[in-house]
A and B are shown apart, each in its own frame.
Chain A
Amino acid sequence: MNAHSSVANETFDCRVAFSEKLIALAEADPRIVAVCNDSVGSSNLNAFRDRFPDRLINVGIAEQNMVGVAAGLANGGFIPFVCAAGPFLSGRATEQVKADVAYSNYGIVLCAMSPGMAYGELGPTHHSIEDISWMRAIDNLDVLVPADPEQTKAAMDWAVASGRPIYMRVGRHKVPSVTPADRDVAFTFGKIDVTGDGNDVALVATGTLVSRALEAADILKAEGISARVLNVSTIKPLDAETILKAARETKGLVVAEEGVLEGGLGAAVATTLAENHPAKARFLGVTGFAPTGSNDFLLEHFGLTAKGIADAARKLVG
């Protein structure tokens, strides 16, 4: 583990990496197809469509049909990447995800584009903040939240190789690279990536909150509080071992996510702690339907910032 210094300034839209990787995967494997719901632009699939016009199946604004069609394609030997805005994929097609994908055990990658509060000003109808809770509840469905472009690409490699039913968030909100330079692979399924070895507090974060947790660690360090940052890119199955190690070696954990607290990452961590090693913890998430505002404004509004994470950490170690 190498200590992370300050977070890089350059930021990326993970959909760009997603699009490039999808084309590369499709070049190498004729089984790969994209299925979408009039979301060619918002899923960044224009280049894929130009390169593979027959392998882009746009069913129109029809999410239940979209996921069912993907199941039929999987039945016919294809590997569908279903690309749709997170709120509509996870909300409108929940039963299809359960019955047609997970219960049917098809190798389908459900790609929730622009998750969390990425569509800030469009309001709560367009926020995908319940998706992790809903998807976690479905058996035989892996839930991934890559935190940066490198993780997004590596998770896609794993998705194709595994043949698993997968729900994966693909972020629109620009994020810095959080993958330490010395990692051989940016994403390892089922493993939490730990940055730093601080023993005062563990900052457990996912997706957009990972870079904020790294910044929080810098803030705390300046105050003499040592933190480690746990980047949880596989929400389910959860890497309990790394969570429990952090619980044993620190005074407490702060869990931060761009989603509701009920049933999300925090709930998964809390269950793991309660059953194995009760520890002090604080949980940060989206605590209600959001007011009008940009993604950044809303993250600030709900305290999902480096400052918010550092404040919670101080309460644990104080």
Chain B
Amino acid sequence: MTISVWPDNKPLDVAAIRDLPEGERAEQLKLVAKQVRRLVVQMIDIARAGHIGGDLSVTDALVTAAFGVLNISPETADDPGRDRLILSKGHCAAALYSVLALRGFFPVDDLETFMKPLSKLNGHPNRLKVKGVEANTGPLGHGLPIGVGSAIASKLSGKNWQTFVFTGDGELQEGSNWEAAMTAAHRKLDNLVVIVDRNRLQQGARTEETASLDPLADKWASFGWEVAEIDGNDTAALLKAFTQNRNGKPLAVIANTLKGKGVSFIEDRVEWHHKVPSKEQVELALKELA
């Protein structure tokens, strides 16, 4: 895969980002997010398949958590006390794989095999095939219950790791999320964060035209969660939310995003849920992401 947006073409020391002061961290995370977006576009171009809209909307939150906050690295992949990042919206595997590749879990070149026959990079992630993947997601509404179990395990074992679960917004129409939301609040799981990629679009239409989610922040608050509603494409705002005081509760970050963020002709258009760009559109997209 071709990488060309690092300053002076020199890859960032991504392992060091977590230790930078907050302002500098947010700036570097923006560079990593741009890189992830370029990789996603190229992966989908090569595979001629994928979920480009959601990949591009969730990228900033994924990158901020993985590189800016959580203890996630190939060196600690089997450490029982490692932080857990769970991509419940498993159809956005391309974004997750790009993050893991940049973090060194596997060679960036492997991304070219995305969805190819017998590739470890299945259309939805598999923990047994790819280090760094914590849950075999794909069917929606699975990640948060698993995250609740992980957060309980963290407290029971005394190892005190963090669990971050990334859900779609349309995904919240699955009732299992709200079952898990009740358990998390009941057990005061302040080591659990759910990030809702609130791009307001689902596969077939706008969420509010399908099964309304608003007022979404109120829903989480009424379930007993601490809530932060932010610009989910802003790494500084994400950093602040991820590290804010949780008041002894699980935290829901409503990340207001643009589906397709970063590519003008894809942004906020329902048809780009899993549409594949033409060769010309790929070039245009990469130009916009340069």
Q: How far does the Cβ of A17 sit from chain B's closest Cβ, in whole Å?
A: 26
The segment from A100-108, A110-118, A195-203, A223-231 found at the interface with B is A100-108
B139 touches A72 (CB 8 A): no
B182's nearest neighbour on chain A, judged by CB, is A60
Query: A290: CB under 8 A from chain B?
Result: no
Q: A62 with B135: in contact, given A73-B153, A78-B153 (CB under 8 Å)?
A: no
Give the residues in chain B near A123, CB-CB below 8 Å. none
A55→B152 CA distance, assembly (Å) = 10
A68→B142 CA distance, assembly (Å) = 7
Complex partner residue of B176 from A33, A54, A64, A71, CB under 8 angstroms: A64
Query: A240: CB under 8 A from chain B?
Result: no
Q: A69 with B136: in contact, given A54-B156, A64-B179, A96-B142 (CB under 8 Å)?
A: no
A99→B182 CA distance, assembly (Å) = 22
Give the residues in chain B near A95, CB-CB below 8 Å. 139, 142
Q: A100 with B128: in contact, given A65-B176, A65-B179, A68-B180 (CB under 8 Å)?
A: no
B134-177, CB under 8 A of A: which get 1 and which 0? 11111101101111111111101100000100000000000110
Give the residues in chain B near A273, CB-CB below 8 Å. none
Query: A278: CB under 8 A from chain B?
Result: no
B145 touches A76 (CB 8 A): no
Query: A57: CB under 8 A from chain B?
Result: yes
Query: A77: CB under 8 A from chain B?
Result: yes
B139 touches A69 (CB 8 A): no
A59→B186 CA distance, assembly (Å) = 9
A71 touches B146 (CB 8 A): yes
Query: A238: CB under 8 A from chain B?
Result: no
Q: A62 with B136: in contact, given A72-B147, A100-B142 (CB under 8 Å)?
A: no
A70 touches B149 (CB 8 A): yes
Query: B279: CB under 8 A from chain A?
Result: no
A96 touches B145 (CB 8 A): yes
Interface size on A, residues (CB 8 A): 30
Q: How far does the Cβ of B246 sit from chain A's closest Cβ, in whole Å?
A: 19
Give the residues in chain A near B128, CB-CB below 8 Å. 104-105
Query: A67: CB under 8 A from chain B?
Result: yes
Q: How far does the Cβ of A269 sit from chain B's closest Cβ, in whole Å?
A: 32
Complex partner residue of B80 from A66, A67, A77, A105, CB under 8 angstroms: A77
> Which chain B residues numbered 253 to 271 have a C-beta less than 8 Å away from chain A?
none
- The residue among A71, A72, A96, A99 with the most chain B CB atoms within 10 A of its own CB is A72
B152 touches A72 (CB 8 A): yes
A105→B147 CA distance, assembly (Å) = 17
B183 touches A60 (CB 8 A): yes
Q: A67 with B152: in contact, given A77-B157, A105-B128 (CB under 8 Å)?
A: no
A55 touches B135 (CB 8 A): no
Query: A75: CB under 8 A from chain B?
Result: yes
Give the residues in chain A near B149, CB-CB below 8 Å. 68-76, 80
B3-35, CB under 8 A of A: which get 1 and which 0? 000000000000000000000000000000000
Query: B127: CB under 8 A from chain A?
Result: yes
Main secondary structure of the interface of B (DSSP, over half): helix
Complex partner residue of B156 from A66, A71, A78, CB under 8 angstroms: A78
Complex partner residue of B146 from A54, A60, A69, CB under 8 angstroms: A69
Query: B84: CB under 8 A from chain A?
Result: yes
Complex partner residue of A104 from B135, B147, B176, CB under 8 angstroms: B135
Q: A76 with B180: in contact, given A64-B141, A99-B139, A100-B136 (CB under 8 Å)?
A: no
> Which chain A residues numbered 85 to 104 have a C-beta less than 8 Å away from chain B?
95-96, 99-100, 103-104
A62→B147 CA distance, assembly (Å) = 15
Q: How far does the Cβ of B166 sit from chain A's closest Cβ, in whole Å?
A: 15
A250→B147 CA distance, assembly (Å) = 53
B203-236, CB under 8 A of A: which get 1 and which 0? 0000000000000000000000000000000000
Give the residues in chain A near B126, CB-CB below 8 Å. 103
Q: How far does the Cβ of B159 sit from chain A's closest Cβ, in whole Å?
A: 8
Give the residues in chain B near A75, CB-CB below 8 Å. 84, 134-135, 146, 149-150, 153
Q: How far does the Cβ of A31 sit from chain B's closest Cβ, in whole Å?
A: 9
Give the residues in chain B near A73, CB-CB below 8 Å. 149-150, 152-153, 156
Complex partner residue of B183 from A62, A74, A76, CB under 8 angstroms: A62
A105→B182 CA distance, assembly (Å) = 27
A74→B145 CA distance, assembly (Å) = 12
A54→B187 CA distance, assembly (Å) = 11
Sampled A-B contacts (20; CB under 8 Å): A64-B175, A65-B179, A68-B144, A68-B180, A69-B148, A71-B146, A72-B149, A73-B149, A73-B156, A75-B84, A75-B134, A75-B146, A75-B149, A75-B153, A76-B157, A77-B157, A95-B139, A100-B142, A103-B126, A104-B136
Q: A60-B186, A65-B180 are in contact. List 7 more A-B contacts (CB 8 A).
A: A60-B182, A62-B183, A65-B176, A69-B149, A71-B145, A100-B136, A104-B136
Chain B positions within 8 Å of A, measured between CB atoms, are 80, 84, 126-128, 134-139, 141-142, 144-154, 156-157, 163, 175-176, 179-180, 182-183, 186
Chain A positions within 8 Å of B, measured between CB atoms, are 33, 54-55, 57, 59-60, 62, 64-78, 80, 95-96, 99-100, 103-105
